[in-house]
Amino acid sequence: MTSTKPTPASASSLTWERRRSTVARFWKAYRTHRAGLFGLAALALIALLALTAPLLVGADVQSVTQAPGTALESPSAEFPLGTDQFGRSLLGLLIWGARISLIVGLLAAALSVAIGTLVGIIAGHYGGWFSTVVMRITDWFLVMPTLVLAIVLATVMSRSMWTVVLAIGVTSWPTTARLVRAQTIAVESRPYIERATALGGGHRHVMSRHVLPNVMPLVLAQTTLGISTAILTEATLAFLGLGDPTVVSWGGMLQDAREAGAVSSGHWWYLAPPGIAIALVALAFTLCGRAVESVLNPKLGVGR
């Protein structure tokens, strides 16, 4: 999800050129943010680990019947992070768990931002009583306690990854909707929109050709920041026992550790790594998001 994706219909060489130079300018500015670069590097590393997990550790790492170790071994050469209660390698599970945690984070953030953008643009574009009603609903969602709502949704539906994605996605969109609406109104007050309308551009044309590209940077920043929230929420729901118990995720590992009584038996090596991994990824996404944000809107004054 980047702002550089060409819309197939209008992929003239001119727009291409313009977009390429935009990206180049963006990257040049982004490079000056050291924290942002650090975040990006960390993300690249973790993404690489997650993608190559099938080669690195293999799906067998999840198998309980073929677990190589005994229950709750402490770290050793064979199992650098020890084993879980089934004798599976915790390092392997940690790497494997990155896949679910990242996927859930990405999908949930994408869903949330997609809903938010759609609602925001439509409300901003049409205005009038329609906008008022939509924004009332948005406000109402905004005052809903997010975690409570997500817990309820996760309880209502069966335990699966998609439930978690949905629960996070449909509860966290209102902020994006508000921001996008404000931006939409700002964009539409510009003269060229009036020209486009005068030239016969319909609602759909204005929204998709003019408004959407202009809110895209905002959406990008919003997504990046949203992912870290989503990953934390995923861990929270899993910790409360609302995740999918049949897949391995970081939050699920923490929940497993707690259920096994790792905390009071002093098995810190079971508890510490998933938490650190969650914190690291959330931090990386936040740093990237802040860097993106400050590139797009230097006035926000995010430190370099």
Partner 1 sequence: MTTASTPADVARAEKARVTDGAPRTGSSLGYLRHAAGKLGGALVSLFAVLVTSFFLFRIIPGDPVKAMTHGVPTSAEQLATLRRQFGLDLPLWQQFTDYCAKALSGDLGTSFQFRAPVGELIAEKLPATLLLTGVAVVIYSALGLWLGTRSAWRHGGLGDRLNTGLALTLWSVPSFWLGLLLIIVFSVGMGPIPGLFPTGGMESGTGETGLAYVLDVAHHLVLPVVTLVAVGYAQTLLVMRSSLLDEMGGDYLTTARAKGLRDDAVRRRHAVPNALLPTVTMIFINLGHVAAGSILVETVFSWPGLGGLFYQALSVPDLPLVQGLFVVFAGAMILMNLIADLLYPLLDPRVGR
Partner 2 sequence: MVMVTKAPPRPAPAAHRALRLLLASGVTAVSLVAAPGTAAAEDDKSAAPKTLTVAVSQSIDSLSPFLAQKLTSTSIHRLAYEYLTNYDAKDARPIPGLATAWTPSPDKLTWTYTIREDSTWSDGKQATAEDAAWTFNKMMTDPNAATANGSFTANFAKVTAPDPRTLVIQLKKPQATMAALDVPIVPKHVWEKVGDFSKFNNDKQFPIVGNGPFVITDYKVDQYIKLKPNKTFWRGAPKFDELVFKYYKDGDAAVAALQKGEVSFVPNLTPAQADALKTQKNIKVNDAPGRRFYALATNPGAKAQDGKTFGNGHKALLDPAVRKALFLAVDRTALVDKVFQGHAVEGEGYIPPRFGSYFWKPADGQKRAYDPAAAEKVLDAAGYRKNAEGKRVGKDGKPLDFRILCHATDPNDKAVGKYLTEWWGKLGIGLKVECLDSVSDPWVKGDYDLAFDGWSVNPDPDYVLSIHTCGTLPATPKDTGATDNFICDKEFDGLYARQAVEYDAAKRADLVKRMQSRLYDTGYMNIMAYPNALEAYRTDQIASITTMPEAAGNLWGQDGYWSWWSAVPTASAAGEKESSSSAGLWLVVGPAAIVLLGVGLWAARRRRSTADDRE
Residues near partner 2 (CB under 8 A): 63-65, 71-72, 85-87, 155, 158-159, 241-242, 245-246, 256, 258-267
Q: Which long-range contacts (CB under 8 A, 24 or more apart) does 204-208 make?
A: 206/125, 207/121, 207/122, 207/125, 208/7
CA distance 25 to 23: 5
Q: What does the block give as tokens for 112?
A: 């949330």
Size of the site for partner 1 (CB under 8 A): 59
Q: Does 115 bind partner 1 (CB under 8 A)?
A: no
CA distance 4 to 285: 19
Q: Report the candidate in 267, 268, 229, 273 with the shortest Cα–Cα distance to residue 253.
A: 273
Determine the interface stretch with partner 1 among 12-20, 21-29, 70-78, 227-235 (rule: CB under 8 A): 227-235
Residue 58 or 266 having the CB closest to partner 2: 266
Residue 7 or 63 having the CB closest to partner 2: 63
Render 26-74 in DSSP notation, one character per residue.
HHHHHHT-HHHHHHHHHHHHHHHHHHTHHHHT-GGGG-STT--S-TTPP
Task: Give min distance, CB of 160 to partner 2, in A.
Answer: 9
Task: Give min distance, CB of 242 to partner 2, in A.
Answer: 8
Backbone angles phi, psi at 242, to 5 degrees: -105, 5
Interface positions with partner 1 (CB under 8 A): 35, 136, 139-140, 142-148, 150-152, 155-156, 172, 175, 178-179, 182, 222, 225-226, 228-229, 232-233, 235-236, 239-240, 251, 254, 258, 263-264, 266, 268, 271-272, 274-275, 278-280, 282-283, 286-287, 289-290, 293, 299-304
